[in-house]
Amino acid sequence: MEFNELDEINKSYGLLDEQNYPKWVREELKNYWQSKHVLITGGSRGLGLFLTKNLLDLGAKVAIVARDPIRLQLVKEQLNSENLLTLNFDIGNKETIHTVASMALSFFEGRVDYLINNASTLGGKELRPLLDTPCEDIEHALNVNVVAPFRLTKLVVPAMLGKGTVVNITSDASVTAYETWGAYSISKAALDHMTRIMAKEFSKFNIEALAFDPGDMRTTLHFNAIPDAEISDLLHPGDVALELIVFLAMEKHDQERYAASCWKKVVKDAVFGTGQVVA
């Protein structure tokens, strides 16, 4: 499937491009995101890559974590920003997660505003019926999609200093039973419920925990799962990144989990209806 994200990154998928959002929206968002500190896992591809590009454009400091050193270097060279820290680690490796947090906190001078747990895995190399799924695939999906975000959140939340947001990227597979998606679905359902518990427990510290279903996107994970997927049926991760950045800047989030259709409608109504994004 031909979809080169590094080529796409410099096309019309930036919040600062006039064709995407009105001038007043861009000004509000620049004021909001200027100097914010954002840690993103899975930041070298897909949604994470486009979030990184746009947040840097808006003046945020961003640290990204990814496993592939060659890909990470390409991203670093292409984005070319002193406000970007690239960390070549596997977040599923508990032996290195403290190093990830330590290096990010040093870069951010001790304060984190947003942790976006975006890195994800299907669990195995191919989708299988649940009874044919190796136990190791279930374990791997749970480790990367649930345990790793839990570990990193534990290390980062104390650095939010009384105000911050933990964002967990989920999927409609967490609430809909799709055949052969067992390992992934189970892990995302667990991530959803972990987010709900975090939201209850963190609220007393003025810290949000939110789970977002971005919808089906043109990502490596999706094409690995469905190699013959029709690209025109899938959302561009650049478009989703723009909407998510707008949504996160909005002051009031009244639930812990947002389905794709729900939070995107909120963004559309704010930008083209109420005339206010940042409260």
Mapped onto helix, strand or coil, the DSSP state of residue 41 is strand
pLDDT tens track for 61-116: 999 999 999 999 999 999 999 999 999 999 999 999 999 999 999 999 999 999 99
On the question of pLDDT at 264 being above 90, the answer is no
Average pLDDT value for the chain: 86
Q: Where are the domains of the chain?
A: 37-255
Residue 47 contacts residue 237 (beta carbons within 8 Å): yes
CA 166: distance to chain centroid?
Answer: 10
Tell me if the domain spanning 37-255 has CATH number 3.40.50.720: yes
pLDDT at residue 125, rounded to an integer: 81
On the question of pLDDT at 194 being above 80, the answer is yes
Q: Mind spelling out the 3-state secondary structure of 58-115?
A: CCCEEEEEECCHHHHHHHHHHHCCCCEEEEECCCCCCCCHHHHHHHHHHHCCCCCCEE
pLDDT at residue 1, rounded to an integer: 45
pTM here is: 0.89
